[in-house]
């Protein structure tokens, strides 16, 4: 079996240690450079440096202009909004082949959420702004997994983002090749429980699309499946949904186990459901039993290994 594809992730250059911030410094983020770096390829972009603002440079801020957020220089009031947004358009061909994007938070160009917006006098009017490049990126590619640096400190958000990135990469690898209907069926079969953990409705919707793969238009089927797949995985899962999927796998494993192992496995699932242990514990037990009992269908589910184990993302006792 060939190795899984290596995801390609866009990133604000400063987060990888490039000295491109307004003050000539960087914002190296060690989760990216020391952990995720071993498993992905990067596409670094600094919109401000790319449009020629220089390093160091005057600071930028968001200004409200008749209800529209504009990125202006605090030094001379020059508006850089369209140039910054245009960076996304210039890179669109590369961006369409990405599996995720990590943006610098609190940046007037790259900030994703809750940036302060000021009026012409410099008074803060609201805190709901989005950077010009980030706004254009998310408008062009609404289904691309995108997060900003600050939110990735939350273990739940970090795990969700990384899961989506690796799933996006697997799907992109499939659909960019000469796939056949049976290839899409096989892909969907491996991802059934991962989809179910996010949304039973999404799981059923993607299944209905796959059922048409043998007789429908190839491009239409691919586009519909990709949209439903990404939309489903974008939904946050919960402890209860995880526990239901774990019970589903247990139902397949249970007939092969003796009473002692069956009890231990159920206890591990229940401890997770009650918030007493991390998700990694029942997942590890299920993976062990699927391998030991040669249960290929269950053991091959991406739910049990959605990304490299070395990232250690299911160990915190969190939702």
Domain edges within the chain: 8-153, 155-233, 239-311
pLDDT at 34: 96
Confidence of residue 2 (pLDDT cuts 50, 70, 90): low
pLDDT at 4: 73
CA angle 109, 115, 82 (to 5 degrees): 30
Q: What confidence tens digit (pLDDT) does each residue in 185-224 have?
A: 999 999 999 999 999 999 999 999 999 988 888 999 999 9
| Separation in Å, CA 24 to CA 46, 102, 123, 207 | 13, 20, 27, 51
Contact between 175 and 156 under an 8 Å Cβ cutoff? The reply is no
pLDDT at 1: 53
Cα separation of 319 and 298, whole Å?
23
Q: Which residues of 254-279 are buried (b: 16+ CB within 10 A; e: fewer)?
A: eeebeeebbeebbebbeebbeeebbb
Distance of CA 139 to the CA centre of its chain: 16
Q: What is the mean pLDDT of the chain?
A: 93
Q: What residues pair up with 42 in beta bridges, in sequence order?
A: 9
pTM: 0.94
CA angle 3, 166, 269 (to 5 degrees): 100
């Amino acid at each position: 079996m060939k190795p899984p594809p290596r995801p390609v992730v866009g990133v604000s250059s400063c987060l990888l240690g490039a000295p491109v911030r307004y003050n000539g410094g960087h914002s190296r983020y060690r989760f990216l450079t020391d952990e995720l770096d071993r498993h992905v390829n990067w596409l670094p972009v600094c919109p401000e440096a790319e449009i020629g603002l220089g390093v160091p440079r005057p600071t930028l801020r968001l200004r409200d202009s008749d209800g529209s957020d504009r990125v202006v220089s605090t030094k001379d009031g020059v508006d850089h909004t369209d140039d910054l947004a245009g960076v996304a358009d210039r890179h669109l061909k590369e961006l369409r082949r990405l599996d995720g994007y990590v943006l610098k938070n609190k940046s007037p160009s790259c900030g994703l959420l809750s940036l302060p917006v000021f009026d012409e006098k410099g008074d803060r009017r609201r805190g709901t702004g989005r950077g010009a490049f980030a706004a254009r990126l998310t408008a062009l590619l609404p289904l691309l997994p995108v997060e900003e640096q600050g939110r990735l400190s939350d273990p739940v958000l970090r795990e969700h983002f990384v899961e989506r990135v690796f799933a996006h990469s697997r799907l992109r690898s499939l659909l960019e090749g000469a796939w056949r209907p049976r290839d899409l069926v096989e892909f969907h079969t491996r991802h059934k429980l991962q989809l179910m953990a996010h949304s039973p409705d999404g799981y059923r919707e993607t299944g209905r699309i796959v059922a048409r793969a043998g007789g429908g238009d190839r491009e239409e089927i691919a586009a519909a499946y990709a949209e439903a797949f990404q939309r489903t995985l974008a939904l946050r899962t919960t402890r209860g949904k995880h526990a239901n999927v774990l019970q589903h796998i247990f139902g397949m494993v249970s007939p092969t186990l003796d009473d002692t192992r069956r009890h231990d496995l159920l206890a591990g699932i229940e401890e997770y459901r009650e918030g007493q242990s991390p998700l990694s514990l029942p997942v590890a037990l299920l993976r062990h039993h699927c391998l030991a009992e040669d249960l290929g269908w269950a053991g091959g589910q991406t739910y049990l290994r959605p990304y490299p184990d070395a990232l250690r993302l299911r160990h915190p006792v969190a939702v």
